[in-house]
Amino acid sequence: MKKVVISKIKKIRLEKNFSQQYMASQLQISQSYYAKIEKGHKELTFNWLVQLSKIFNITPTLFFEELLSEHHSHSTKNTTID
């Protein structure tokens, strides 16, 4: 799950043409610390996701969109209706 969310963060950052340095300055952290977040070497908390979503101007649930659709796909395959 963590890898999917981190991948989504990086994808959105690149789509918006935001550099790691820009993200770090918005979060008031060093660029190297931000890079560690994207590499999964630092803990990604809900508070970080909220801050990132504000910078990206998206809802925090967008980070989990892929996971939710996968979960929904698996749960509908396992459900039978009589």
How many domains does the chain contain in total? Answer: 1
The per-residue pLDDT for range 12-36, each reduced to its tens digit, is 999 999 999 999 999 999 999 999 9
Residue 42: inside a domain: yes
Alpha-carbon gap, residue 72 to 64, rounded angstroms: 12
Helix, strand, or coil (residue 80): coil
Range of the domain at 72: 2-77
Residue 63 · residue 49 · CB < 8 Å: yes
Give the pair of three-digit tokens for residue 19.
């550099």
Q: What is the mean pLDDT of residues 57-82?
A: 65
Q: Residue 69's pLDDT is what?
A: 64
Q: What percent of the chain has pLDDT over 90?
A: 62
Name which of 77, 73, 63 is nearest 9 in CA terms: 63
| Stated pTM of the model | 0.76
CATH of the domain at 12: 1.10.260.40
